[in-house]
């Protein structure tokens, strides 16, 4: 049988029973649609996490305090702080793979302005901080190395602080009191939004780390050190170099454990994405059950079709049709129904993902690979579940089929 005739006969059989065809495809439509929605939500969540992690900085490596023992009990990460500004300076001078290094002196203070007050995080940083965090000022300017050397009382505020303290005016040049110390606002940072942990990155005041240490915290120890590399490919080697320089700075011998912790951006991203990947896979697996149900529905309908068309099959065999022709015809019908269901399911999935994103505000993104897999899988379902009925039809005895009532 010619291919054109084969598809014409298969198409005519499908269109002959429109309602039954639609009901047969329904399981595939629901299955493919559900899978696409789940993949879109999961992929969107992972992209959002990567974007939020990316907002932390460019090729970022974070050096944090290590753990310590007290009374034989380990106090956990961050409990033993030996980080100092000198460590940051040593990383800056000795590092060969670092593009920028900044100590971070953290405090939480009340900021008082003429129009109100606002409690926020205060970070003392170096002039490398904007490059590390890929964060520029929207108005005014960032402080200079001379301001760090002199410990000048200047501050650059985040967009949230500016909005709450200076709602109707430009903060640049204004005087504020941070804790008990007067500061001059010299700049406002660009809005960054929330990070992956849901914290408002714009709710911050930045100042020279020397000023923060001498005027606010009064501590020799610092909260963390930020390091960035020129390229992502340098991250692994740079992390090893950070560890080596820090161990040398703290005079640790080979038998001693690190008294600091080093984390890079990739590790943070993977840690936060792992849960999302597991949940996305689980939801997609549950949605795939609909495809199995849809495939069983196709098999059932094709078996009914074989029974209904037994005489038709007998006539075709009697006038020369081979068993393979009958097998191919029924397989084509099954695959076409499954593919049509897959295409409709794709449209329903894209629409459902867009609607879900609009209602909930979730980020959704459907990769092209998911579309190709969905179409291929729907065709495979049609072929797998259509083979048995097609084989049964091809195995019919022409004489018995002609006598079938």
Of all residues in the chain, what percent are helix, strand and coil, respectively (each to 5)?
55, 20, 25
- The answer on 164 and 132 residing in a single domain is yes
How many structural domains are present in the chain?
2
Strands 116-125 and 204-208, by their bridges, are parallel
Q: Among 403, 402, 405, 404, which Cα is nearest to 319's?
A: 402
Say if residue 356's pLDDT is above 60. Answer: yes
- The answer on 387 and 288 residing in a single domain is yes
Please provide the DSSP assignment of 259-318 as one string: SEEEEEHHHHHHHHHHHHHHHHHHHHHHHHHHHHHHHHHHHHHHHHHHHHTHHHHHHHHH
Within a domain: residue 371? Answer: yes
Which residue range(s) make up the domain with 28? 3-52+273-403
Which of 9-13, 67-71, 138-142, 302-306 has maximum average pLDDT? Answer: 138-142
Q: Among 35, 27, 30, 37, which Cα is nearest to 355's?
A: 37
What is the rounded CA–CA span in Å between residue 331 and residue 167?
A: 69
Strands 73-74 and 69-70, by their bridges, are antiparallel
Within a domain: residue 62? Answer: no
Model confidence at 100, pLDDT cuts 50, 70, 90, reads: very high
200-248 pLDDT tens trace: 889 999 999 999 999 887 788 898 999 998 887 888 899 999 999 999 9
What is the rounded CA–CA span in Å between residue 357 and residue 197?
A: 20
- Are the CB atoms for 212 and 105 separated by under 8 Å? yes
Q: Read off the DSSP letter of residue 363.
A: -
261-316 pLDDT tens trace: 888 766 555 655 566 666 666 666 766 676 677 777 777 777 777 777 777 777 77
Within a domain: residue 123? Answer: yes
Which of 88-102, 214-228, 387-401 has maximum average pLDDT? Answer: 88-102
- The answer on 380 and 338 residing in a single domain is yes
Domain boundary among 206, 230, 258: 258
- The answer on 308 and 210 residing in a single domain is no
- The answer on 222 and 93 residing in a single domain is yes
Cβ atoms within 10 Å of 106's Cβ, excluding its own: 17
């Amino acid at each position: 049988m010619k291919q054109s005739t084969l598809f014409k006969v298969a198409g005519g059989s499908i269109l002959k029973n429109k309602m039954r065809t639609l009901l047969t495809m329904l399981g595939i439509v629901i299955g493919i649609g559900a899978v696409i929605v789940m993949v879109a939500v999961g992929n969107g969540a992972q992209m959002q996490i990567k974007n939020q992690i990316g907002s932390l900085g460019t090729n970022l490596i974070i050096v944090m305090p290590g753990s310590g023992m007290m009374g034989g009990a380990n106090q956990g990460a961050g409990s033993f702080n030996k980080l100092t500004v000198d460590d940051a300076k040593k990383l800056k001078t000795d590092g060969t793979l670092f593009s920028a290094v900044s100590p971070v002196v953290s405090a939480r203070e009340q900021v008082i302005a003429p129009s109100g007050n606002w409690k926020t995080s205060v970070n003392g940083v170096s002039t490398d901080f904007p490059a590390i965090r890929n964060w520029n000022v929207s108005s005014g300017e960032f402080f200079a190395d001379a301001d760090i050397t002199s410990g000048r009382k200047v501050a650059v505020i985040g967009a949230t602080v500016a909005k709450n303290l200076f709602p109707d005016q430009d903060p640049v040049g204004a005087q504020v009191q941070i804790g008990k110390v007067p500061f001059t606002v010299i700049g406002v940072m660009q809005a960054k939004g929330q990070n992956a942990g849901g914290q408002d990155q714009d709710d911050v005041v930045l100042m020279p780390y020397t000023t923060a240490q001498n005027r606010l915290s009064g501590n020799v120890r610092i909260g963390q050190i930020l390091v960035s590399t020129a390229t992502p490919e340098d991250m692994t080697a740079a992390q090893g170099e950070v560890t080596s320089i820090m161990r040398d700075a703290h005079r640790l011998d080979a038998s001693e454990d690190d008294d600091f912790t080093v984390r890079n951006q990739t590790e943070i991203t993977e840690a936060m994405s792992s849960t999302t990947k597991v949940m996305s896979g689980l939801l997609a697996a549950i949605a795939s059950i609909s495809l199995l149900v849809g495939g069983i529905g196709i098999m059932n309908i094709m078996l009914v079709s074989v029974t209904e068309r037994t005489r038709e099959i007998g006539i075709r065999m009697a006038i020369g049709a081979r068993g393979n022709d009958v097998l191919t015809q029924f397989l084509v019908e099954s695959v076409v129904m499954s593919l049509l269901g897959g295409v409709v399911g794709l449209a329903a999935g894209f629409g459902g993902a867009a609607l879900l994103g609009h209602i909930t505000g979730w980020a959704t993104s459907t990769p092209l690979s998911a579309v190709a897999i969905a179409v291929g899988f729907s065709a495979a379902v049609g072929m797998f579940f259509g083979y048995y009925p097609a084989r049964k039809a091809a195995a019919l005895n022409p004489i018995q089929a002609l006598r079938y009532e």
